[in-house]
Amino acid sequence: MTTMLILIPLTFLLLLVAGAAFFWAVNHEQFDDLDSAGLLPLTDHAPERPEPPEEPPP
């Protein structure tokens, strides 16, 4: 019985954390673009900000 009294509040806590994390993710655009993120690991080198070439081609 005591284990239950400890474990049940624990599940609630975990539930709250999971829910809050999901809400945070939705609000921070993690679910807006589900297409391009899947390609990131496939690129050889993924520089965060590639520098634009100095001289644009004609």
**Any idea which residue has 């400890």 for tokens?**
6
Binding mask 15-54 for other proteins (x = CB under 8 A): x--xx--xx--xx-x-xxx-xx-xxx-xxxx-x-xxxxx-
Say how many CA atoms lie within 13 Å of 47 toward its Cβ.
4
**What sign does the dihedral 38-44-48-52 (CA atoms) show?**
negative
Q: What is the DSSP letter of 28?
A: T
Q: Which of 7, 8, 13, 17 binds other proteins (CB under 8 A)?
A: 8
User: Which positions lie near other proteins, rule CB under 8 A?
Assistant: 1, 4, 8, 11-12, 15, 18-19, 22-23, 26-27, 29, 31-33, 35-36, 38-40, 42-45, 47, 49-53, 56-57
